[in-house]
């Protein structure tokens, strides 16, 4: 998961402030120095960092002393607010044309993820908004691009418009006409990319823009290339006046600089983020949730949304009730695991939980075999053990491992995963400060 390094460094900076009743000017200065370094190391643009730190300092110095918060908590609160602001404040929506079709022009450098994420976005609009999108192949230079679009279109059940290798401006116009004729209310134009920003590319994109007046021009940028992504965003915005950004590959170990700098440098919001290679791995970008995630406060809202999309309604209600009453047991865990299967790997989920590092659970994929093992382990426990896993000492674990045909390490792994879900339970059961924050504050 992206941002891990930044999260750790910020949390270390805050740790030093904990337990202090009053912050001296020197304390604040030292914390700001560390925040500054953490941001620079995360590859946030120098100018943005300078401005950010100045703003946090100003607010920290001028802030009213709130009785409910310790000075350190107050600084975290300000950093959280400013990080949210830096990434654009509220989440930005895709504009829908008042008269269909909505034309979305996907632009970006080669390999950024235009084709994949244009298709993902079309899929999202189809699934969540009941749209009838059309994908249009306007990248005529990369030989495999048309085929690639057809493959993803087929996987998503979305039609693809292509005219082979002819003038992309002509294709774009014909695609919009085709959409009008066939009742497609959205058209996603997959345009060509280059390895670097060049004049011929910009020229072609400007011509397409002039020909079809797109509702939205979305720039796709790869989060892994850090500052280069920001420079590319600036160049594309200067030439095309883009409407927003799709930041891809945030599932990787991008340091996060691009996500934090793009809005400040271009003034354009990140609207969506790509979270994996699969065609459903795209999410609406929420600056506030991302800020909380960076600060280790977890992204429980996204987790709940994900759960809502995957859980069966009745079971979800039962779970909610159990979580509310804090009565989540190992038997429920098995039940949930089956449902969680649709939510990706546990490490994806871990990234959204407060105080949990994705690397804690790396590779803990919820495949069929793992589930079988888990079921065997849980059913080898006595009902009392299932309700009270803390009594599981090494001889009990040995017995359970033998009974389930597994090893003690498997039993331990399961117990660790259970603890993780219990962390989630605490979140749901209300009102408490996230564990990571409590830890920070001492
Ligand atoms: P294009 O040249 O801009 O059209 O880029 P593609 O759509 O062909 O994507 C380039 C590569 O990045 C492909 O291998 C994609 O599967 C991969 N990719 C795209 N988006 C993501 C993402 O969000 N996460 C990950 N891990 N890979 C992605």
Tokens encoding 258 = 């691009």
pLDDT in tens, the chain (442 residues): 678 888 888 888 888 877 776 777 788 888 899 999 999 998 898 999 999 999 998 888 766 655 556 677 778 888 888 999 999 998 888 999 999 999 999 999 999 999 999 999 999 999 999 999 999 999 999 879 999 999 999 999 999 999 999 999 999 999 999 999 999 999 999 999 988 888 999 999 999 999 999 999 999 999 988 888 889 999 999 999 999 999 999 988 788 888 899 999 999 999 999 999 999 999 999 998 888 888 876 555 566 566 666 656 666 667 667 666 667 778 777 776 666 666 665 556 666 665 555 555 544 555 557 777 888 898 899 888 888 888 999 999 999 999 999 999 999 988 988 887 777 666 554 444 344 433 433 3
Class at the top of the CATH hierarchy for domain 300-433: mainly alpha
Beta bridge partners of 106: 190, 218
Architecture of domain 4-86: Up-down Bundle (1.20)
Separation of 247 CA from ligand 1 center, angstroms? 11
Ligand 1 atom index nearest CA of 108:
3
∠ CA 338-342-346 to the nearest 5 degrees? 80
pLDDT of residue 440: 34
382 annotated binding-site participant: no
Residue with tokens 């759960």: 307
Is the peptide bond prior to 101 cis by the omega test (within 30 degrees of 0)? yes
Q: What is the pLDDT of residue 423?
A: 73
Q: Confirm if 191 and 208 have CB atoms less than 8 A apart.
A: yes
CA 20 to chain centre: 34
How many residues would you count in the chain?
442
Q: How far is the CA of 276 from the centre of ligand 1 (A)?
A: 8
What pLDDT is stored for residue 441 in this prediction?
A: 33
**Closest ligand 1 atom, residue 275 Cα:** 23
Q: Which of 116, 150, 351 has most ligand 1 atoms within 8 Å of CB, for mutation?
A: 116
Atom of ligand 1 at shortest range from CA of 109 = 3
pTM attached to this predicted model? 0.71
CA 235/CA 230 separation, integer angstroms: 9
Q: Which is nearest to 285 in space by CA: 247, 317, 312, 240?
A: 247
Question: ∠ CA 430-433-436 to the nearest 5 degrees?
Answer: 125
Distance between start and end Cα atoms, the chain: 26
Contact status, residue 42 vs residue 6, Cβ threshold 8 Å: yes
Report the pLDDT value the prediction gives residue 226, as an integer from 0 to 100.
83
Give the distance (Å) from ligand 1 centre to CA of residue 100: 28
Residues with CB under 6 A from ligand 1: 108, 110-117, 193, 220, 248-249, 251-252, 274-277
Distance 40 CA to ligand 1 centre (A): 26
Q: Which two tokens stand for residue 21?
A: 């009743």
CA of 150 to the centre of ligand 1 (A): 15
Q: Domain ranges for the chain, please list them.
A: 4-86, 102-294, 300-433
**Mutation test of ligand 1: which of 138, 254, 277 has the most ligand atoms closer than 8 Å to its C-beta?**
277
Distance (angstroms) between ligand 1 centre and the Cα of 97 equals 27
Residue at token pair 């990234």: 351
Query: Going by CA atoms, what residue is nearest to atom 27 of ligand 1?
Result: 277
The burial of 399, by beta-carbon neighbours within 10 Å (0-12 exposed, 13-18 middle, 19 or more buried), is given as middle
Q: Compute the distance between CA of residue 427 and CA of residue 112 in angstroms, rounded to an integer.
A: 36
State in words which class domain 102-294 has.
Answer: alpha beta
For 268, list phi and psi in degrees, rounded to 5: -105, 140
């Amino acid at each position: 998961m992206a941002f891990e390094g930044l999260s750790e460094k910020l949390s270390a900076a805050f740790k030093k402030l904990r337990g202090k009743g009053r912050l001296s000017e020197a304390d604040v200065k030292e914390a700001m120095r560390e925040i500054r370094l953490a941001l620079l190391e995360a590859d946030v643009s120098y100018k943005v960092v300078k401005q950010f730190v100045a703003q946090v300092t100003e607010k920290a110095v001028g802030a009213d002393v709130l009785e409910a918060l310790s000075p350190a908590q107050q600084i975290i609160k300000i950093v959280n607010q400013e990080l949210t602001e830096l990434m654009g404040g509220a989440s930005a929506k895709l504009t829908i044309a008042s008269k269909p079709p909505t034309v979305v022009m996907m632009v970006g450098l080669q390999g950024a993820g235009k084709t994949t994420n244009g298709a993902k976005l079309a899929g999202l609009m189809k699934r969540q908004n009941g749209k009838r999108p059309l994908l249009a192949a306007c990248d005529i230079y990369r030989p495999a691009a048309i085929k690639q679009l057809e493959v993803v279109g087929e996987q998503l059940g979305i039609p693809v418009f292509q005219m082979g290798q002819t003038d992309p401006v002509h294709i774009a116009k014909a695609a919009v006409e085709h959409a009008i004729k066939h009742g497609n209310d959205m058209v996603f134009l997959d345009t060509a990319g280059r390895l670097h920003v060049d004049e011929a590319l910009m020229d072609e994109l400007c011509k397409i823009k002039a020909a079809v007046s797109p509702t939205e021009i979305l720039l796709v940028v790869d989060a892994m290339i850090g500052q280069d992504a920001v420079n590319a965003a600036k160049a594309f915005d200067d030439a095309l006046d883009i409407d927003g950004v799709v930041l891809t590959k945030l599932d990787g170990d991008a340091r996060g600089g691009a996500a934090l700098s793009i809005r400040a440098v271009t003034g354009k919001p990140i609207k969506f983020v790509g979270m994996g290679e699969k065609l459903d791995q795209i999410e609406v970008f929420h600056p506030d949730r991302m800020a909380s995630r960076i600060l280790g406060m977890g992204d429980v809202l996204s987790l709940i949304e994900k759960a809502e999309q995957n859980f069966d309604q009745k079971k979800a209600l039962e779970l909610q009730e159990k979580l509310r009453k804090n009565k989540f047991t190992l038997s429920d865990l098995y039940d949930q695991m089956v449902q969680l299967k649709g939510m990706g790997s546990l490490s994806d989920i871990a990234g959204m939980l407060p105080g949990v590092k994705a690397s804690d659970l790396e590779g803990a994929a919820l495949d069929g075999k793992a589930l079988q093992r888990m079921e065997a382990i849980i059913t080898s426990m006595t009902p009392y053990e299932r309700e009270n896993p803390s009594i599981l000492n090494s001889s009990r674990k040995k017995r359970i491992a033998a009974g389930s045909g597994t090893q003690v390490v498997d039993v331990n792994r399961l117990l660790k995963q259970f603890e993780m879900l219990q962390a989630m339970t605490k979140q749901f059961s209300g009102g408490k400060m996230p564990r990571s924050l409590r830890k920070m504050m001492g």
